[in-house]
Amino acid sequence: MVDVHEVPRPRIATGHLAQHIGKPVCFVGRVEKIHPTGKLFVLSDGEGKHTTVELSEPLDEEISGVLEVVGRVTNQATIMCMSYVQFREDKSPFDLELYNEALKIIHEFPDYFPFG
Which residues contact another protein by CB under 8 A?
A: 92, 95, 98, 101-102, 105, 108-109
Query: Closest distance between another protein and the C-beta of residue 41, in Å?
Result: 26
Is 85 or 105 the residue whose CB approaches another protein more closely? 105
- What DSSP state is assigned to residue 69? E
Element (H, E) at 18: none
Query: Closest distance between another protein and the C-beta of residue 92, in Å?
Result: 8
Distance CA 107, CA 12 (A): 9
Is 32 or 95 the residue whose CB approaches another protein more closely? 95
Query: Closest distance between another protein and the C-beta of residue 100, in Å?
Result: 10
* Residue 95 three-state SS: coil
71 pairs with which residues across the strands? 25, 81
For 11, list phi and psi in degrees, rounded to 5: -85, 135
- What DSSP state is assigned to residue 78? -
Is 32 or 108 the residue whose CB approaches another protein more closely? 108
Query: Closest distance between another protein and the C-beta of residue 26, in Å?
Result: 18
Is 60 or 112 the residue whose CB approaches another protein more closely? 112
Q: Which of 66, 80, 87 is nearest to 17 (CA)?
A: 80
